[in-house]
Structure 1
Amino acid sequence: MKDRQLPNDACPGHRRRNPQRIALTVSTLALALLSGGTARAEWFHPDLERASAEVESAKGAEGYAALRRVWATWDRANPDQVEQVLRLASENSKLTPSTRAYAAMLAAYARGRRGDLTANRKQLRDLGFVDRWLVVGPFDNEGKAGLAQAFQPETEFASAIVLGRAYSGKERPVRWREAPNVFSYGFVDLGSLVRPEQKACGYLTSFVKSKAGKPKQISAWVGASGAFKLFWNGNQVLEDTAYRGHDAERFATRVKLEAGFNNLTIKVCGEASAPAATVRLADAAGKPDADLEFSNSVEHSKLAVKNAAKKVEVVAPSGPLGAVQAFEKTISSKKPSAAALYAYADYLVETGGDDPKEHWARDYALRAAEQEPSVKRLLLAGDLSEDRNKYAAWVKKAEALAKPDDVEVLLARARLARSSPAWRDAIPYYDKVLALDPDNLEGLEGRIELYNEAGLKRTALEALERAVEKSPESVTLLNMYASQLRALGRATEAEEVESRYAARRFDDRSYLGQKVDLAVTRRNTRAAQHWTSRLLEADGDSLWAYAVSAQTQRMLGQPQRAVAEYKRALDLTPEDVGTMRALADLHAETGNREEQLALLRQILQIRPQEQDVREYVEHIEPPKPRSDEAYAWASKRFLKDRLARPKGQNKRTLVDLTVTTVYDNGLSSQFRQVVFQPLTDSAAATSRQFGFAYQADSQRVQLRGAKVYRADGSVDEAIESGEAAADDPSIAMYTSSRSYYVQFPRLEPGDVVELKYRIDDVTPVNEFSDYFGAVEYLQSSEPIGHAEYVLIAPKKRKLYIDTVRLPGLKKTQEAKGDQQIYRFSMEKVPAIVPEPAMPPWPEVLGFVHVSTFKDYKAMGTWYWGLAKDQFDLDDETRKLVHDITKGKTTTLDKVKAVYGWVIENTRYVALEFGIYGFKPRRCVQTVARGWGDCKDKATVIVSMLKELGINSTIVILRTGLRGDFASQVASLAPFDHAIAYVPELDLYLDGTAEFTGSTELPAMDLGALGLLVNQGDSKLVHLPQIDPKSAVDTRDITAVVDADGSAKLELAYETKGTGASSWRRRYHAEATRRARVQRDLGQEFPGIEIDEGKAGIVAGDLEDVEQPVSMKIKGKAPSFARVEGKRLSMAVTSNYRLTPSFASLSSRKLDVPLPALGTSKNTFSVKLPAGMKVVALPSAKSGKSKFGSFELQVSQVGGEVKVTSTLVIDVARVKSSEYAEWKKFCTEVDSAFAQRLVVEK
C-alpha cells in the first residue's frame, strides 16, 4: 500500500536517473553538516549530493521532482542526512510555499520511517493536511463514468449528514461513517475503507473552521490516486479527470473560509486500483495556517449547512498553482521549450503523475529528446518506451551523444544486457560503472547478483562488506548484506545487521512480518507482542497488518485478543470478506457457533458466489436440499420413460434441466441435470464420454452425480473425470475456457445415463460490472422428453427475456421471498433433423435469451465505458500514423494505408483470458508488441484513423460461422468477433483477415450481425452481403488437344472480391505454390503436369491485397478428353455443380445459407486434333430467376471451339419456402453446364 502512495520509496533495484555529477553548493553542504554550530566531517553519498544540488537550482515546480529524488536516496545515503536536507529545503526561501510544504511533508515521512509516528503526524497536521474525515462509498465507476455522475451525497450539501441513511452504492447500499484516524502519511486510502475498492468512487467530507472565527481567504492543495472533484461549501472548486498515481500538491485553488464550519468534500474515483486523496489547507499563499481546525463530527455538519451554497456552481480555480497546474502553464505555448517538456515529464515520472491512458510523460520526454537531444532526455524517453526494442534504440542514441565514461548510459546498457538471453554481457558494463563511481548502488547490486548467479557467494559478501564499511548507514546495503550473510548460514551476524537496518526502516512491512514469524516460531510471546505492536503502529491502515497481529495472537493461545484485532480490522473495512472469513474461522475454533454463522451469512450477502462458504453453512446447519438442485428429477420419475419405443433415432435425452441463480452483482451459479439413453451400439460407444465447457479463471465445476442405470436394475457410477484446455493453437487462440469430461463405464443400448453437475462463478468481483446474460437452448438434434430452464434472480434486478423458436413452451413466473423465479419448459421436444447445407446449429435451435441490458444502446454505452481508454495514442504512434499515410490525399487511400499496415505488421494472436475476452488491449501496446486479436486490431485501426481525423468505430460482430441471431434482447452472448467501420466510406475493415483487401470482407463477416459501438451511441446492423458485380472469378483455358485425349493447357485466372483472400493465403508461399497448384488442378484435370521453370506458373503480386489475384499456368493434362472409341468427349465448363452441394434433397425444412459465390465466368477455347470434327456441340442456353442467372455461349471457328459459361448468384440465402424454385434453378444450371463437347475422326 505504501509503495503506491509514496511512489519514490527507494528500494533495492530501483532504477535511478541522475544528472551528471555536480558539486553540492557550499551553503547547502555547510547547513547539512551543522550540528549545534559545529561542522562534522561527514561523508555525503554522491546521489544525495546531486539531488540536493538539484533542489538548490530548481525553479518553480521543478522542485517537486528534485525533492522526490532526495527522498529516493533514503535507502542509499545516510538517512539522517536525507532528513536534514529535507528540513533545510522546507525552510529555503528560494522555494515556493507549496514546494517548502512538500519538503516538510517528506521530512515528516522521514520521522515516520524512523519510527517517530507521533512527530510524523503532528508535523503533517501542522502543515494543514486534513486528517478528520467522514466517508461514504463505494459508488460505481464502471467505464470511468462515476466522476461525471452526481451521486446522491453530491446533491445534499444543503442538508446535514445522517449516519444511518442509506444510499444506492456499488453492489449494495452504503452509509456515511467516520473514517478511523489511522492514516499516518497525510492521505486517506479508500482501499482500506470500502469494498469493492476497484472501479469505485467515494466521498470524503471534513468540516473546517477558523479558530479566530473570522472569514478569510485560504488555499486548498489536492493530490489523488485516480480522478477527483473538490467541493467547498457545495461548489465544485477543483477537478482532475486523469487517473494518476498518488502524490500531494498537484492542484490548488483559493477558497473563502466563512465564519463557522465549512464543508470540505472530495470525491475520488479509481479504476484498476483504489482511489486515495490528500488535501492540505493553508493560507492564501500556501503557507501553513495554524488558525485552521478540522472536524469529522456529524454535529458539525449541521452547523456547516448554513454556509452551503444556495446555488451549486462550478468555480474556476484561482490563486496559487499546484504542481500540475504550474507545469501545464509552462508548456501552454505553441512550441514549449525542450527544458519545460523534460521538466514536466520528469515530474510525472518521479511522482507517478501520469495517466496510463494518456502517457503524457512519454510524449513530453520524446518531444524534448527530439527537439533538443541530450543524454538525460534520450534516456528518459527510453525509460518510458513501450517495449525493450524501443528502449534499446533510445539508449543507442544517448550513447552516440555521451562521453565514453557516462555512468547513466553504461547502466542503461547493463540493464539491456541483463534483460537479454546473454545476461553475462552486463558484467563489463557494471565493472566500468564501479570503476568510475565506486558508490553506485545499481552497479554494485548488479555485480552482486551476477556473483551469486555464478556461485561466488563469498566474493559477493566481500564486496558488500567493503561497501558497507564505506556507507554504514545505507539501508539498501544493510539489507543486501544481511541477506548475503543468511545465504551463507551466518544467521547471528545477519540478525545484527538486520537490527541496524530496522532502525532506519521502521516502516518495512516485510521485515516486521518476518520478525513476527520468527518470534512465534520461537514461542517468544514478549517479542511477538513487541513486533506486532510495531507493525500496527507503522501500518495502522493495513488489513494485512491486523491479520498478522490476529494470527499471531491466535498462535500464541490468546484467541480473545485475536478476535479484538479482527474487529479492529472490520472497524476499518466493515465489508472485507477475507477478514470476516478469518474471524469466522476463529469463532469456530473457540466454539462460538452463533457468531461464526452470523459472519458467514453476512459474507454470503456481500459475496453470494462464495460457494465454499455456502457449502459450509449448509453443512453445519440442518440439512436441506439446495434450492436449485431441488428442481432435479428423481430417478424413478425419468426411468419410467426408458421403455418407450424408439422412433428410429440412435439416442434420446430424457431430461435436460438447467437452473441458473443470478446474484445482485451479476455473477451466477448453474446446476445442470442431463439424462440420456443410447439406443444403438454405435450410440452407446460414442456416449461413454460427456463433455462441457467452463471458464477456469472464474468458475468452478462440481460433479454432483454421474450414474448409469442398467437394464437389470443395477446402478454404476462414472469411472473417472478430467479436463483439458480448449485452446486452438492452429489459429493462435488461447483462452481460459476448459473442457470438462466425465467418463462412464461400458454402455449398452437401453442404459440410462444421469449426469448432475454445477458450474459456479467464484471470482471475487464481476469483471463485467453487474451484467448477466445467457442463451439457453431447449432443443437438440435428439428428441428430448423434458427440457426445462429455471432462472432464479433477485426481485430488484430487471431482466429482459426473449424466447425464440420454441413452440409449445410453457412459461411461469413467481415471487419467492426476495427472489423472482422464471420457469420455461417443454415436453416431448422433437429432434431437429439435420439437413445438408443447413445453417449453423445456434441459428436453428430454439432458445431462451436473458440479459440485464435494456437494449443495444445500453449495451453499447457499457461496452464503450469498458473499452474507451484502450483507444490511446502516444507521440510515437501518432508519428507512425502520419508516416504510413504520407502522400495519401483521399480518405480511401489513407484508410487503405492504415488497414494495410495493421494486417502486415500485427500478427493474429488471441489471449482471451478473463475480461480480455471482450476488452481490447491498448492501441499503443498492440502496436509495440506487433500482435493482437480481433478486438486489438480493430482498436488500432480506429485509433489511427482518429488521428487522421477520419471517423470510425469498433464493431462487435457475430460471424456467419454461428449463424444469424433472431432475438430482440441485447446481450454480449451472441457476439464472437470485432472489426472496424468507416461511415464516410461505408467500409468495414477486418484486421484479422491478413490476406484480404480493404474492400474484400471475409466470407464469415458477410451479412453478419454487428453492433456499431459509436462511442456509446450504438446501432445494431447487418453487414452487407456479397456483391456479385465486385466478387468475380474469371478463368480462361486454352486447350490444344491431341488425338489420344491429352492436351496442352494454358490457364489464366483472375479473382477479385471475397474469394481473393483464399487464393493469396494458399498460394502466397512460393516454395509450396507449384505443389499446391498441381494438387488443386488435379481434381479437375487428373494427372496434370505443370511445365518446368518459371513459365509454368506466373503469379501476380500476391503481396498487394488491394489488387485482384491473377495467375497464369501452363501444363499438360494426359486425360483432358475422355476416349470413347474413335470419339473424344470433353468437359468445357467448370466442374462445380449446384445441385449436389445445395439442392440434393427433394424438400427441406431449413434454409440454405449460400457461400460467397458471386460471379463465376469460365471460358474454354479448345483446339481440336487434326482431322477431327465436332459430333456434339453444347447448346447455347441461358436463364434467370430471383436467385441469379446463368448463360452458356458457344461458338466454332474452323477447328477451334469456344465455350463461355457464366453463373451469377444474387442471393446469400434460400428460404425453405423457396426451395422448390431454387432446386429447379440449380437443375437448369447444372443441366446447361453438364453438356460436353464430342469430336471424332
Structure 2
Amino acid sequence: MKKLLLLALLVSQTVCAQVEYQAGVVEAALKENAHGVVRRHETTFTVKSAGEATQRVRSVITVLDEPGDEHAKTVVGYDKLSKITNLEGALYDASGKLIRKLKKADIEDYSTYSDYNLFDDNRLKAASFPKQPTYPYTVEFIIESTERNLMFYPTWIPQDQEHLSVEQATFTVNMPPGLALRYKEVNIPTPVVEETAANGGKTYVWKLANRLAVEFEPLSPPAREQLPIVYTAPTDFEVQEYKGKITNWSDVSRFYHSLNDGRDRIPDYLRRQVIELTKNETTTVGKVRKVYQFLQEQTRYVSVQLGIGGWQTIEAEKVAVSNYGDCKALTNYTKALLQAAGVTAYPALVRAGEKEPDTMSDFPSFQFNHVILCVPDKRDTLFLECTSSHDPAGYVSDFTGNRHVLLILPEGGRLIKTPAYQPADNLQQRRIDIKISEQGDATATVRTRYTGLQQDDYASILHRLNHDDQRSWLIKRIAIPAFELNTFAYSEQVGAVPAVIETLELTIRRWADASGTRLFLPLNLMSSLSSATPLTQSRKTPMELGSAYDFVDSDTITYQLPKGYLPEYRINPLTIDSKFGTYTAQLSMEGDRVVYIRRVIMHRGRFPATAYAEWVDFRKKVAKADRAQLVFVKSN
C-alpha cells in the first residue's frame, strides 16, 4: 500500500510538472493582449546571516508570439560579492515535450566594462534559446546564487513589463533568528503570510495568481505604480566587514558617512592653490564657482564598481594625483577643495536618470545610483554635478533635478529636494527671417535661444560631438520636408539656468506652394506640435505630464513676400486655453512683410483619467492651428 501511495504521488507530481509546460491549458483571459504568460515564477531568498544569503529563481514562461521571443533568454549580473552557483534552462514545445536543455555553450559570460568604467568587476551571464519556428512554446530558467552584499535585498516583480500575464508566482523570504525583514508592497492583492520557522526565524510568503496582461496607456504613471511589486530591505547587514543598520534615513546616511569618513584630505600644495584661487571671492557662490571650474578643467569622470567600492570613495589625495574619479570620488574631492576655501559642503545620494523614478521616501534603503554635492548657503542651496565637464555650478538638469536626495551628515542625514525647473526656466525663444520667392522657395535665418531643460541636448552635443557630427545630428532634428543646412553655429550663456544659442542658415525648397496667381504659405516653420494618441477605450490610469512638458516656446517669424502679393483673407488671433497649458497665435501685415507670432506655455502635473479626453482635444486644436497657412494673391 505504501509503495502504491508513493507511486501515485510521483505520478501526480510528474503530471503537474508537465501541465505547467503545456501551452494548451493556459486560460484564454491570460493570453489576451499578451506576448507571454508566466506559468510559474518562484523566488526564494534565504538569509543565513547579516552578511550572507542565497537566492533561487525559477521561471517558466509560455511564449505566444514573435514579440514574446525576448522571454527565451535571461541575463543575470554578478560580481565579487555575488556568485552564480547554477544556471539551468529548458525548452518545451506546445504540448509540453522537452525540445532541448541549456548547454554550457549556450551561456555567455562577459564583463560590463565600458569606456568610462575604468575599474569594474561587474559581469553578466546571458543564456538564450534559438528562435523557434512555431508558437506557442515554453521556456524554463533556474538561477541560483550566493549573495555577500546584503546592503541590498531583492525586489520581486514577477510581472515586470506590459503584455505579460502571470498564472502563478510566489516570493519566499527566509529570515534567521535575530534578523528582521523590512518590506513594502505595491499592488499586491493578498497580504504576506508570515510564519515562525522551526529554528525560531521567520518565513514570509507572497503569492500572485491569474494576473492579466496590462498595456500601459499613453502618459500613464510609472510602471512601478501599476505593476505588482514587493520591495525588501535588511534591518541589520554586513558587507566586507562593514556593519550597518537601517531603520530610518539617518541610519542610511550614517552608514555611508562611516564608509567615507576621513577620505576628504588633500595635499598641502593643493590646499594653498585653492586658497590662492579663491582669495578675491567674498561670497560662497563666488568661491564655489571658482572651485567648480577648477574641478572641470583638471579632472575627468570614470566609473569605479569594485565590491564595496561602489559605495566607498577613492581618497581625495589619490584623485589629486590621478585627476580622475567616479561620482563618489569627484564629489568627495570637490568637498575637500571647498573645505580648503572655507566652504562647507555635504554629499547627497540620489537616484539619477531622466527616466529613473524618484526615491521612495517612505522606504529607507539603498535606492541610489549616484552622488552629487550639496552646498548650503543661508537661504539658498547649491547642488553640484561633479561628473559634468560643462554644466554651470548649481545646475542639475533633469538628471538629478526635482527629486529627493539623501543629505550625508556625520550625525545622520535627511531627505531634501533638488530644484525643479519651471516653464519660465525652460525656454525655446526663436526668431526667424524668411524670404520667399515667387516659385515658393525660401531662404531662412534662424536664431534660437534654448534655456534650462530645453538646452540640455544642445549643450551635450556642443561639448561631445565634433562639427561634422553636430551637423548630422542637427539635420535629423530639423522637421522641414526639403531643406539644405548652409551654416550653423552654437554658443553658450553660463548662468544658474544655462542657455545655448543656435544660429542656422537654411535654403528651403517649395516651402510655399505656388499655384497660378496664388501663393499658399504655411506659417509655422519649425515648431509644430503633433496630435495626441486618441483613446480606443475608457481610460483607466491617471495622466501624467512630466518635466518634458514644463516649457515655454515662442516663435516670431517674419516672412518677406515677393512683390505684388496681397493676402486673400485675414487670420484672426487665436487663443487655446486648457488645464495643461495655453496656446496663442497672431498675425500682422506690414506691406510685403508678414509677422507670425506663436507662443505655447505647458506645465507638468498629474491629472485624473477623465482628463485625457481634454488633453486629446487640446492637442488636436493646437496641431490644427500649427498647420495654418495664409493664401496670397498676386495683384495685377
TM range (shorter): 0.7 to 0.9
The question of whether the paired residues in 2 share the 8 Å contact of 1:1121 and 1:1131 is answered with yes
* Residues 1:1047 and 1:686: Cα distance change in structure 2 (over 3 Å): same
Letter in 2 for 1:673: R
Pairing of 1:372-771 with structure 2 (within 5 A): 635-636=17-18, 638-639=20-21, 642-644=24-26, 645=28, 646-680=31-65, 682-683=66-67, 685-688=69-72, 690-703=73-86, 705-712=88-95, 714-715=97-98, 716-719=100-103, 720-725=105-110, 727=112, 729=114, 732=117, 735-744=120-129, 747=132, 748-761=134-147, 771=151
Match of 1:796 among 158, 178, 182: 178
Partner residue in 2 for 1:1045: 440
The question of whether the paired residues in 2 share the 8 Å contact of 1:805 and 1:845 is answered with yes
Partner residue in 2 for 1:775: 155
Structure 1 segments unaligned to the other structure (5+ residues)? 1-630, 1091-1095
Partner residue in 1 for 2:240: none
Shift of 1:1042: 0.8
Match of 2:306 among 886, 902, 913: 913
SS in 2 for 1:1033: strand
Partner residue in 2 for 1:982: 375
Q: 1:73-129, CA deviations, whole angstroms, 9 ceiling, x for partnerless residues?
A: xxxxxxxxxxxxxxxxxxxxxxxxxxxxxxxxxxxxxxxxxxxxxxxxxxxxxxxxx
Partner residue in 2 for 1:1071: 467
Pairing of 1:755-1154 with structure 2 (within 5 A): 755-761=141-147, 771-780=151-160, 781=162, 782-838=164-220, 841-842=223-224, 844-851=226-233, 852=235, 853-959=246-352, 960-966=354-360, 968-972=362-366, 974-984=367-377, 985-1068=380-463, 1071-1072=467-468, 1075-1076=471-472, 1079-1080=475-476, 1082-1084=478-480, 1086-1090=482-486, 1096-1101=487-492, 1108-1124=499-515, 1126-1133=517-524, 1135-1136=526-527, 1138-1140=529-531, 1143-1145=533-535, 1147=539, 1149=541, 1151-1154=543-546
* Residues 1:1178 and 1:1009: Cα distance change in structure 2 (over 3 Å): farther
* CA distance in structure 2 between the partners assigned to 1:998 and 1:1005 by the alignment: 14
Shift of 1:1112: 2.7
SS in 1 for 2:106: strand
SS in 1 for 2:50: coil
SS in 1 for 2:145: strand
Shift of 1:967: 6.4
Q: 1:676-715, CA deviations, whole angstroms, 9 ceiling, x for partnerless residues?
A: 00122x1565444x22222232222133542223345532
* CA distance in structure 1 between the partners assigned to 2:388 and 2:328 by the alignment: 13
Partner residue in 2 for 1:217: none
* Residues 1:1145 and 1:700: Cα distance change in structure 2 (over 3 Å): same
Letter in 2 for 1:887: N
Structure 2 segments unaligned to the other structure (5+ residues)? 1-12, 236-245
Partner residue in 2 for 1:165: none
Shift of 1:1187: 2.7
* Residues 1:1139 and 1:1083: Cα distance change in structure 2 (over 3 Å): closer
The reply on whether 1:1173 has 2:556 as its aligned counterpart is no
Partner residue in 1 for 2:242: none
The question of whether the paired residues in 1 share the 8 Å contact of 2:545 and 2:605 is answered with yes
Between 1 and 2, higher relative CO (CA 8 Å, sep ≥ 6) is seen in 2
Letter in 2 for 1:750: P
* Residues 1:808 and 1:991: Cα distance change in structure 2 (over 3 Å): same
SS in 2 for 1:872: coil
SS in 1 for 2:25: coil
Bigger Cα displacement from structure 2, 1056-1065 vs 815-824: 1056-1065
Shift of 1:658: 0.8
* Residues 1:773 and 1:880: Cα distance change in structure 2 (over 3 Å): farther
* CA distance in structure 2 between the partners assigned to 1:1043 and 1:1148 by the alignment: 52
Letter in 2 for 1:1199: D
Pairing of 1:1197-1212 with structure 2 (within 5 A): 1197-1211=590-604
Q: 1:937-972, CA deviations, whole angstroms, 9 ceiling, x for partnerless residues?
A: 222232222333323221111124222344622111
Shift of 1:1107: 5.4
Shift of 1:1089: 3.6
Letter in 1 for 2:623: D
Shift of 1:894: 1.7
SS in 1 for 2:405: strand
* CA distance in structure 2 between the partners assigned to 1:745 and 1:1099 by the alignment: 48
Bigger Cα displacement from structure 2, 917-926 vs 794-803: 917-926
Letter in 2 for 1:1019: R
The question of whether the paired residues in 2 share the 8 Å contact of 1:665 and 1:771 is answered with no
* CA distance in structure 1 between the partners assigned to 2:401 and 2:261 by the alignment: 27
The question of whether the paired residues in 1 share the 8 Å contact of 2:21 and 2:60 is answered with no
Letter in 1 for 2:92: Y
Q: 1:241-271, CA deviations, whole angstroms, 9 ceiling, x for partnerless residues?
A: xxxxxxxxxxxxxxxxxxxxxxxxxxxxxxx
SS in 1 for 2:387: coil
* Residues 1:1059 and 1:760: Cα distance change in structure 2 (over 3 Å): same
The question of whether the paired residues in 1 share the 8 Å contact of 2:394 and 2:496 is answered with no
The question of whether the paired residues in 2 share the 8 Å contact of 1:1064 and 1:1102 is answered with no
SS in 1 for 2:247: coil
Letter in 1 for 2:588: S
* Residues 1:965 and 1:902: Cα distance change in structure 2 (over 3 Å): same
SS in 2 for 1:901: helix
Letter in 1 for 2:439: D
Q: 1:733-790, CA deviations, whole angstroms, 9 ceiling, x for partnerless residues?
A: 76333222223355442322222120112x5xx5xxx644332223332001112111
Letter in 1 for 2:626: F
* Residues 1:651 and 1:1107: Cα distance change in structure 2 (over 3 Å): closer
Partner residue in 2 for 1:427: none
* Residues 1:1238 and 1:1004: Cα distance change in structure 2 (over 3 Å): farther
Pairing of 1:7-156 with structure 2 (within 5 A): none
Partner residue in 2 for 1:627: none
Letter in 1 for 2:518: R
* CA distance in structure 2 between the partners assigned to 1:941 and 1:661 by the alignment: 41
CA RMSD of aligned residues (A): 3.1
The question of whether the paired residues in 2 share the 8 Å contact of 1:953 and 1:1014 is answered with yes
Shift of 1:1082: 4.4
- What is the aligned-residue identity percentage? 20
Considering fraction of residues, name the structure with more helix. 1
What is the total number of aligned residue pairs between the two structures?
Answer: 596
Shift of 1:1115: 3.5
* CA distance in structure 2 between the partners assigned to 1:995 and 1:1134 by the alignment: 31
Shift of 1:1177: 4.5
TM norm structure 1: 0.45
* CA distance in structure 2 between the partners assigned to 1:735 and 1:861 by the alignment: 26
Letter in 1 for 2:587: V
